[in-house]
């Protein structure tokens, strides 16, 4: 079985990544790229202050989105796993969570735009309640709207793995904690949370990887006013600067791998699963 698998991985994973690494050392003119071994692309990348700002911005999006998706995802999963008693209801409610995912994620994202706009539903409702006197501008085309869309799009990726691990927790452990005199919060903190770590970690990897690699959400929800690494790569590709795009992609890949490497130091997913 190893043979065909190695072939599939080799062709669809290793080869493209190697190709991207190779091209990142090539040179480019206005309309073509030529094989070479240049460090220009990297030199420009690391010497530009913008690169650092954009990477920082990408980390910022990832961190904030992670925090929100974790809190919401954990709560939802906890409710489903421990408060809903019957399996039928658990499945029904879980499926309910997935319903929004039957539409395309672009549609789910764009539908926020008219809602949050200057004359949108959110602003007109707040004004009719008398909470605000004039439309709030930062609702749309801001970091707020970008993160809102990210959280909305990716929370399910946190719910699913956490719910999955929670379902495997032996209920007698919870009872034992309670018998030993632990309060609800203590049980949550010292029993449930440690046992859910693998799920949290898988969810984290999903969310972090998705947010770090995104470009379209940032473009639409910030009204093209903010940049992340994905948009930098997209701009380069659009302008036929493939080597420069490859160099950025390689740096992004290394960053994400490093990040996941660090995360895996905390939890040994293999052992826990």
Rounded to an integer, what distance in angstroms lies between the CA atom of residue 76 and that of residue 163?
Answer: 8
Whole-angstrom distance, CA of residue 33 vs CA of residue 243: 7
**Residues 168/213, Cβ–Cβ less than 8 Å:** no
Residues contacting 122, CB < 8 A, separation 6+: 115, 116, 136, 139
Q: Per CB under 8 A, does 65 bind another protein?
A: no
Of the candidate spans 10-18, 66-74, 196-204, 225-233, the one that interacts with another protein by CB under 8 A turns out to be 225-233
| Beta carbons of 55 and 255 less than 8 angstroms apart | yes
DSSP assignment of 7-55:
HHHIIIIIHHHHHHHHHTTSEE-SS-EE-----HHHHHHHH-HHHHHHH
Per rule CB under 8 A, count of chain residues that contact another protein: 33
Contacts of another protein in 13-42 (CB under 8 A) = 28, 30-32
Residues 147-166 that bind another protein (CB under 8 A): none
Contacting residues for 176 by C-beta, under 8 A, at least 6 apart:
none
Quick one: which segment of 1-9, 19-27, 137-145, 179-187 binds another protein (CB under 8 A)? 137-145
Q: Which stretch binds another protein (CB under 8 A): 44-52, 168-176, 209-217, 260-268?
A: 44-52
Sketch the per residue contact string, 241 through 260, with another protein: x for CB under 8 A, - otherwise. x-------------------
CB of 50 to another protein, least distance (A): 5
Binding site residues, another protein, CB under 8 A:
28, 30-32, 44, 48, 50, 53-54, 57, 113-114, 117-120, 137, 140-141, 219, 222-227, 231-232, 235, 238-241
């Amino acid at each position: 079985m190893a043979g065909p698998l190695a072939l599939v991985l080799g062709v669809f994973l290793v080869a493209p990544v190697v190709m991207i690494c190779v091209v990142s050392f090539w040179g480019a003119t206005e309309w073509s790229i030529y094989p070479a071994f240049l460090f220009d692309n990297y030199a420009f990348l690391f010497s530009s202050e913008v690169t650092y700002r954009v990477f920082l911005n990408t980390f910022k999006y990832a961190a904030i989105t992670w925090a929100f998706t974790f809190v919401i995802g954990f709560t939802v999963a906890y409710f489903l796993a421990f408060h809903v008693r019957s399996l039928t209801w658990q499945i029904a409610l879980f499926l309910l969570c997935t319903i929004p995912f039957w539409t395309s994620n672009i549609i789910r994202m764009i539908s926020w735009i008219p809602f949050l706009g200057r004359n949108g539903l959110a602003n007109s409702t707040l004004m009719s309640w008398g909470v605000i006197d004039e439309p709030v501008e930062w609702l749309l085309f801001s970091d707020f709207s970008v993160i809102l869309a990210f959280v909305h799009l990716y929370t399910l990726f946190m719910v699913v793995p956490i719910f999955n691990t929670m379902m495997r927790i032996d209920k007698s452990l919870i009872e034992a904690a309670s018998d030993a005199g632990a309060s609800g919060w203590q049980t949550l903190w010292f029993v449930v949370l440690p046992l859910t770590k693998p799920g949290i970690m898988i969810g984290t990897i999903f969310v972090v990887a998705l947010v770090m690699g995104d470009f379209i959400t940032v473009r639409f929800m910030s009204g093209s006013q903010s940049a992340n690494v994905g948009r930098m790569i997209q701009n380069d590709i659009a302008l036929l600067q493939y080597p420069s795009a490859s160099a950025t992609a390689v740096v992004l890949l290394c960053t994400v791998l490093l990040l996941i490497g660090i995360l895996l130091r905390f939890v040994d997913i293999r052992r826990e699963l």
